[in-house]
Structure 1
Amino acid sequence: MEKKNMIINGKKLSYIEKGNVNDPPVLLLHGVPESSLLWREMIPCLVSCGFRTIAPDLPGFGQSEPFDESSTWERYEQFISDFTRELKLDKFHLIVHDWGGLIGLKWACDHRERILSLFVSNTTISGDYKWHSLAQIWRTPNVGEKIMKRMSDDSQFQTDMKNSIPNIVDETLEDFYRVFRTPESSKVILDLYRSGNIEKVKSYNQKLNQIKIPVTIIWGENDPYIPFEFAYKLQKEGLPHAQVHIIQNAGHFIQIEVPDKVNFYIQQHFKNV
């Protein structure tokens, strides 16, 4: 899928943009270790629903260059402000997955007047969340660096990802691998996870409660990283008016595993906004 490039703060930023420039915009934020190609099956669906669809490779992921400074949670939030300003996106619909949700939901709480609707999958900012085992390793100094060295083995990465997501296509797989290639590139993930102190969002349930726009939450029933119970927790604690849908026989990467089901819920959501 063809990407465009721009320069933000002196760094190359790659992104996918499809649809009519005058249509209402939708911003899609991927997670770790993903890229804009996570959304390759959703983008045509959104365009056919009448939306301008914009999906960046977050800095350091896919084909985007990393920040000069540490790749922290806060720095990615600043990036959302920079990127949307560059594209002159004032108000937009927001679709998030995984770390894209930790970044995007926190940003949405602080800029709620700019968000037209929210479509959330497999992500949480709940204070009750306990990091999954790989995240705990990444968050541990020295241990994280050692495991990253192992994960830089391209063929091993491909094998592991294909075991996890059998229907992933090679172009997407190669894009996802880019962040692991070198100790410098993989530092992006270590920085991000080590900055991920959930204490920072203790106050955000209150802020989420002030978001009165349409919200859909979808989840893979078998997500090994963030259990589907957190879909209901997000609804109960912060977004009581949200529609929640759990997709059976699907894991964490639902956009690739079951794209037709994700697109069904996207169509439902955008029919009602």
Structure 2
Amino acid sequence: MDWSHEEAIVNGVRLHYVEAGEGPLVVLLHGFPEHWYSWREQIPALVEAGYRVVAPDMRGYNRSEKPPGVSAYRIGNLVEDVRALIAHCGADRAHLVGHDWGGVVAWEVAARHPDSVDRLVVLNAPHPSAYRRELWNPESDQAKRSWYVLFFQLPWLPELLVRAGRGRLLESLFRGGAANPEAFDDEAIRRYTEACLRPGAMTAMLNYYRALFRGTLRSKVPGRSLPDATTSDGLIGRPTLLVWGTDDEALSERLTEGLEKWVPDVEVERVAGASHWVQLDAPERVNDALVGFLSRG
């Protein structure tokens, strides 16, 4: 099928996005260290089901603008990017689908601006309150699994390791973690490597983690309030589907439990044997769940 490559200035940042189809708007938000291409299996299925699909490269990624500085990647800025993109598409609201970091942003859009979201679908990205719960739970191994978040706080070293290997580290990350050997073929690895090695891209991508970590720490300082720098604890008031590959090496399956406290209208679809890259490990299963859930809206 054909899709068009577009660009727009939204929230003061130039974003590249792929668009296809006609109908109700669905916005697909990718994770780290990916870009719009991670939705290549979902875009045709959604278009065939009668949706207009928009899949952006989030700020800092691939062909989108890479504003300098850690503060440019605070969660509040990322939320406003999505809202501005929805408005640019001529809509008041959209179905929102996010994986990994895209899922983090999707949770926040739905919590802070429920009127901007019809239905919410999140793939292998924990609700922020569930993540904090497991991070500090002595019976959970989530803190151990999250070691890379601390590593990403280091200046220049993570970027240096990626550049020095000319993408071999990225290939290992994708192919080593995927359950489906066909999920990342040579073309996919080429695309991801090319995107990550664009000037300024790795620093921008890592700044997502740096901004979130620093904002959370600063918000704990007595007398300081930085709600824009940290994730919210707000309820999710929209119908929500959480799709979870059970063999995610970075995120514990315990994160899918007890969500009703924060997400009263939630369904959980566990995909046994799928990795963190669940939409590529089991595309037909994910597509069926995604289209089936959105069609109820």
Quote the residue 2:158 is aligned against: 144
Displacement of 1:242 in angstroms is 0.7
Alignment partner of 1:239: what SS?
coil
Task: Identify the match of residue 114 of structure 1 among 102, 113, 116.
Answer: 116
Alignment partner of 1:226: what SS?
coil
Quote the residue 1:193 is aligned against: 209
Tell which deviates more after alignment, 63-72 or 251-260.
Answer: 63-72
8 Å contact from structure 1 (residues 149, 183) kept in 2: no
Instruction: Describe the shift of the 1:113–1:160 C-alpha distance in structure 2 as closer, same or farther (beyond 3 A).
Output: closer
How many equivalent residue pairs?
A: 266
User: % of aligned pairs identical?
Assistant: 24
For structure 2, the 5+ residue unaligned runs are: 136-142, 220-226
Tell which deviates more after alignment, 24-33 or 71-80.
Answer: 71-80
Task: Identify the match of residue 227 of structure 1 among 222, 236, 252.
Answer: 252
8 Å contact from structure 2 (residues 244, 278) kept in 1: yes
For structure 1, the 5+ residue unaligned runs are: none
8 Å contact from structure 1 (residues 179, 188) kept in 2: no
Quote the residue 2:56 is aligned against: 56
What TM-score do the two structures reach when normalised by structure 2?
0.80
Residues 1:218 and 2:243 are matched in the alignment:
yes
Alignment partner of 2:200: what SS?
helix
Tell which deviates more after alignment, 27-36 or 223-232.
Answer: 223-232
8 Å contact from structure 2 (residues 247, 273) kept in 1: yes
Task: Identify the match of residue 133 of structure 1 among 135, 147, 157.
Answer: 147
Instruction: Describe the shift of the 1:4–1:182 C-alpha distance in structure 2 as closer, same or farther (beyond 3 A).
Output: closer
Quote the residue 1:259 is aligned against: 283
Quote the residue 2:235 is aligned against: 208
Instruction: State the Cα deviation string for residues 209-250 of structure 1 (Å, max 9, x = none).
Output: 4x0x321111000111111221224x2331132111111111
Quote the residue 1:248 is aligned against: 272
8 Å contact from structure 1 (residues 18, 52) kept in 2: yes
Residues 1:170 and 2:186 are matched in the alignment:
yes
Distance 2:115 2:84 in 1: 17
What TM-score do the two structures reach when normalised by structure 1?
0.86
Distance 1:169 1:116 in 2: 34
Instruction: State the Cα deviation string for residues 176-234 of structure 1 (Å, max 9, x = none).
Output: 224531672211122110111357698833x224x0x321111000111111221224x
Task: Identify the match of residue 80 of structure 1 among 55, 79, 82.
Answer: 82
Displacement of 1:64 in angstroms is 2.0
Residues 1:4 and 2:32 are matched in the alignment:
no
RMSD of aligned C-alpha atoms? 2.5
